[in-house]
Amino acid sequence: MTKQTKLIIISAVSLIMFAFVYLLISLGIITDLEIAAGEFARSLRNDIATPVLIVITNIGDKIMITGICIVFLIWSKTRLKLGVPLAASLIISTVINQLLKSMIGRQRPDEIYHMVEESGFSFPSGHSTSNTVLYITIIIAALIFMNSIKGKIAVTILSVFMMLAVMFSRMYLGVHFLGDIMGGLFLGLFVSCAVYALWLIAFDKINIRGLKRAEKAHTAVQD
């Protein structure tokens, strides 16, 4: 099974899971679970964790993620392998996220629980979506292009930690339900895996064309 096929399968499963989460929310099946999860997250609030999680949620903000993406685009070593697919995934996922929020119109948790200022609708979580796109794209690039096994493991662990930390911060700070976070996770997985699969197909074609040009040039020199 090729890398592209694996990514497409993950993307398809993620889309199905996104639809499943939305169905559970719309039917009220996980309402009690969401309430319990929100209460548990808020019960952990303290003077040490709160400022840390505010910083983490700010690191996961669109401005920060856009800045990271620009760095990957500027740096020649990461431009094609990471910058381009990340930029495409962020643009596509942001558009889809905003359309879904407007169409679904789910309200956020009551403002009395908010520890940071937020507006707009709740499902799917924008932070969860964009951070999933960022860190999953980084993981995919690392697993495919990095040579060091230790490096791959380190990048994967750090990326998963940051992704989950941002997601938890949104519940801790009282601005999202569990279902919003899960919806954003699966939406981000769907987009990032699909885009990277398509990018790998295009990337392979670019490399093949480059090799053919090099072979022609080499043949011409020999002649």
Between residues 203 and 146, the one the model is more confident about: 146
pLDDT, one tens digit per residue, over 109-141 is 999 999 898 888 999 999 999 999 999 999 999
Q: Over the chain, what is the mean pLDDT?
A: 91
Per-residue model confidence (pLDDT) at position 206: 64
Q: What is the pLDDT of residue 221?
A: 42
Q: Which residue type sits at 205?
A: K
Quick one: pLDDT at residue 219? 44
Distance CA 89, CA 129 (A): 10
Q: Which residue has the tokens 């080499």?
A: 218
pLDDT (mean) for 138-162: 95
pTM of the model: 0.89
Domain positions in the chain: 3-209
